[in-house]
């Protein structure tokens, strides 16, 4: 356990305050946007005397990042940037984040801590089935495994038969992927005549999508393992922002690097410990893309009580209980209905009425986009309609990078409520 | 030379066709011929009715997606080889058929009527006329 995971409340506050002052000066001097935020408020970094002073600052969110796309929020020159990642934005433009050498060290450290928090050691063989690429899941876990000294098998996502084969042959002990994929793998294992309960796997480090206690029990029983929830988002660092310990009662936030606040999403006022609100995080040590008060849009509750299970004093957030926006997480990928809307509007025929249906077929999420056929696009030939369906599907898949189903439906199939159409029907039972 | 056909977009679900026939019945619209093309998810109902403009308007009012098209209605002899004869004409001329369907005539028991949709409509009409085929006018078709 890193010493910073178990600081006394006063020592943690002192460390956070010192780091907050440092990062505030850094963004004030190097990010135009933050410079103007302080100037408008008539404040200087010297006014950040305590953590509470953060509350006078506005929130930073995906929209802020979009407005400064691609590199406007970078706080260091390109020469110091080592890695750039991107995640879904709410419309066409992705959300861009970057890492310096020291950011990568922090990322490795918090991910190593996270794996260790779940009981992983240098002895473990970690099969990393998070996607490698722009998505931070794959590389984040990879760096953490290297830092911890464990052996990492960089599988990336998909290729289930191969995953199972190598898991068996290598004697994998830790699996990292989305919870739903772990369920799917267990199903596929059984279908192939393997008993997942007899595998060498002992720990699952699962995240990148919301899940429930019920699903945890299902996964633990299917594999005969302990399954732990990991939290992160690329804007903060990627995976490794918070992690469950064997107590499985909340996720420890590595608060020496990421200062958490939970606020009422409407009034923006802080809510007391134990109450639900929106998680807001300030990155205390990031150099390339540090954010003050980043609005995660995730609903959680926070507790500062020391953990009875592991003794860590690092504050804990609850599981993600929901979102303050309409973002969906499909197979670990962030999807905004507005992205789909942009595609539909971009197809030359106007298709204003659509609905997104999310279901879980077996273990995997399915996304169906229902589009109302109006007279402008109605061809009286089957192949004309099929071509339209295919085109919509291809264009949505290009933007979302996940497979979707498109269904043409009759007008007025999609319920219109007062003023606002219900765009998303989420039938998943998590 | 052409007759008006109404196409209606339909999802493949139980009772949908019945709703359309119900609306037409209520409004005293007589269906002269129909064809249904479908995939697993949706279908296209194609109709020749006695008053196509009114039928289209009523169906639109009932919030169906409707399209009016011009199709060719030609008589063929109701005997073996009757259809083959005109298909041979089209084939020789390189005209491909989008879709077609048939109904029987009441007045002439030895005749059938083919509803044909082709891309090269004008060319198809000329070929049929040159071959001495009778093309039904709109009025003839709607009141058969």
> Which value does ipTM take for this structure?
0.84
B65 CB neighbours in chain A (<8 A) are 373-375, 378, 410-411
Q: Where in chain A is the domain with CATH 3.40.50.12780?
A: 78-324
Note the pLDDT tens digit of each residue in B92-128.
Answer: 999 999 999 988 777 777 888 999 999 899 999 999 9
**How far A392 CA sits from the closest chain B CA (Å)?**
15
Domains of chain B, with CATH numbers?
2-69 (3.30.2130.10), 70-142 (3.30.70.260)
* Partner residue facing B9 (CB), from A373, A386, A407: A373
Note the pLDDT tens digit of each residue in A120-145.
Answer: 999 999 999 999 999 999 999 999 99
Q: With a cut of 80, say whether residue B1 has pLDDT above it.
A: no
Read off the pTM.
Answer: 0.79
Reported as a pLDDT band with limits 50, 70 and 90, residue A348 is low
Segment B127-142 shows an average pLDDT of 88
Q: With a cut of 90, say whether residue A343 has pLDDT above it.
A: no
- In angstroms, the CA A179 to CA A331 distance is 9
* Among A26-35, A276-285, A384-393, the least confident range: A384-393
The fraction of chain B above a pLDDT of 90, given in percent, is 69
List of residues 6+ apart from B103 with CB closer than 8 A: B32, B33, B48, B112, B113, B115
Instruction: Kindly state whether A382 is in contact with chain B, defined as any CB-CB distance less than 8 angstroms.
Output: yes
List of residues 6+ apart from A31 with CB closer than 8 A: A72, A73, A74, A75, A290
**In degrees, to the nearest 5, what angle opens at C-alpha A17 toward C-alphas A12 and A22?**
130
The two tokens of residue B111 are: 């005749």
Instruction: Kindly state whether B135 is in contact with chain A, defined as any CB-CB distance less than 8 angstroms.
Output: no
Burial of A201 (0-12, 13-18, 19+ CB in 10 A): buried
What CATH fold (topology level) applies to the domain A78-324?
A: Rossmann fold (3.40.50)
Instruction: Kindly state whether B19 is in contact with chain A, defined as any CB-CB distance less than 8 angstroms.
Output: no
Contact at CB, A411 and B44, closer than 8 angstroms: no
**How far B53 CA sits from the closest chain A CA (Å)?**
15
Reduced to 3 states, what is the DSSP secondary structure of residue B121? Answer: helix
The two tokens of residue A250 are: 């909340």
Contact at CB, B37 and A382, closer than 8 angstroms: yes
* Partner residue facing B11 (CB), from A374, A381, A410: A410
Reported as a pLDDT band with limits 50, 70 and 90, residue A111 is very high
Q: Is CATH 3.30.300.30 the classification given to domain A333-426?
A: yes
Contact at CB, A411 and B99, closer than 8 angstroms: no
Q: Where in chain A is the domain with CATH 3.30.300.30?
A: 333-426
Contact at CB, B9 and A412, closer than 8 angstroms: no
Segment A146-175 shows an average pLDDT of 96
């Amino acid at each position: 356990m890193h010493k910073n995971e178990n600081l006394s409340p006063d020592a943690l506050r002192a460390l956070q305050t010192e780091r907050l002052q440092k990062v505030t000066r850094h963004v004030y001097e190097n990010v135009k946007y933050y410079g103007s935020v302080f100037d408008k408020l008539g404040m200087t970094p010297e006014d950040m005397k305590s953590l509470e002073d953060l509350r006078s600052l506005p929130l930073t969110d995906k929209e802020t990042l979009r407005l400064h796309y691609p590199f406007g929020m970078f706080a260091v020159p390109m020469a110091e940037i080592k890695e750039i990642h991107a995640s879904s934005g709410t419309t066409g433009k992705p959300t861009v984040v970057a890492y310096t050498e020291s950011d990568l060290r922090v990322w490795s450290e918090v991910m190593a801590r996270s794996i260790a928090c779940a009981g992983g050691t240098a002895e473990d063989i970690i099969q990393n089935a998070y996607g490698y690429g722009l998505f931070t899941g794959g590389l984040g876990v990879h760096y953490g495994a290297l830092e911890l000294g464990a052996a990492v098998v960089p599988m990336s996502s998909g290729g289930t038969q191969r995953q199972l084969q190598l898991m068996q042959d290598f004697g994998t002990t830790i699996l990292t992927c989305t919870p739903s994929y772990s369920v799917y793998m267990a199903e596929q294992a059984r279908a192939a005549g393997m008993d997942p309960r007899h595998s060498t796997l002992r720990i699952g480090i699962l995240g990148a999508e919301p899940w429930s206690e019920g699903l945890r029990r299902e996964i633990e029983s299917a594999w005969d393992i302990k399954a732990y929830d990991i939290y992160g988002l690329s804007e903060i660092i990627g995976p490794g922002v918070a992690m469950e310990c064997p107590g499985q009662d909340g996720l420890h936030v590595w608060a020496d690097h990421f200062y958490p606040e939970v606020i009422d999403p409407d009034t923006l006022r802080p809510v007391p410990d134990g109450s639900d609100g929106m998680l807001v995080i300030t990155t205390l040590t990031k150099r390339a893309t540090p954010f003050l008060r980043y609005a995660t849009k995730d609903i959680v509750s926070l507790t500062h009580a020391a953990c009875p299970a592991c003794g860590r004093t690092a504050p804990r957030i609850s599981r993600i209980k929901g979102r303050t926006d309409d973002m969906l997480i499909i197979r670990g990928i962030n999807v905004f209905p507005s992205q789909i809307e942009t595609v539909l509007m971009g197809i030359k025929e106007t298709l204003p009425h659509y609905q997104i249906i999310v279901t879980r077929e077996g273990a995997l999420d399915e996304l169906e986009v229902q589009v109302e056929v109006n007279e402008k696009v109605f061809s009286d030939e089957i192949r004309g309609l099929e071509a339209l369906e295919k085109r919509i599907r291809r264009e949505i898949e290009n933007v979302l990078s996940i497979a979707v189903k498109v269904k043409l439906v009759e007008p007025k199939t999609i319920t219109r409520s007062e003023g606002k159409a219900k765009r998303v029907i989420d039938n998943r039972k998590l | 030379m052409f007759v008006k056909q109404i196409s209606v977009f339909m999802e493949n679900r139980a009772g949908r066709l019945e709703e359309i026939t119900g609306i037409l019945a209520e409004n005293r619209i007589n269906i002269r011929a129909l064809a249904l093309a479908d995939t697993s998810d949706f279908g296209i109902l194609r109709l020749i009715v006695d008053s196509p403009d009114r039928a289209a308007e009523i169906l639109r009012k009932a919030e169906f997606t409707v399209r009016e098209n011009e199709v060719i209605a030609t008589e063929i002899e109701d005997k073996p080889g009757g259809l083959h004869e005109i298909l041979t004409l089209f084939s020789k001329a390189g005209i491909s058929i989008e879709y077609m369907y048939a109904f029987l005539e009441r007045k002439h028991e030895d005749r059938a009527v083919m509803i044909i949709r082709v891309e090269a409509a004008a060319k198809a009409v000329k070929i049929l006329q040159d071959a001495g085929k009778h093309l039904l006018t709109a009025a003839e078709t709607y009141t058969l």
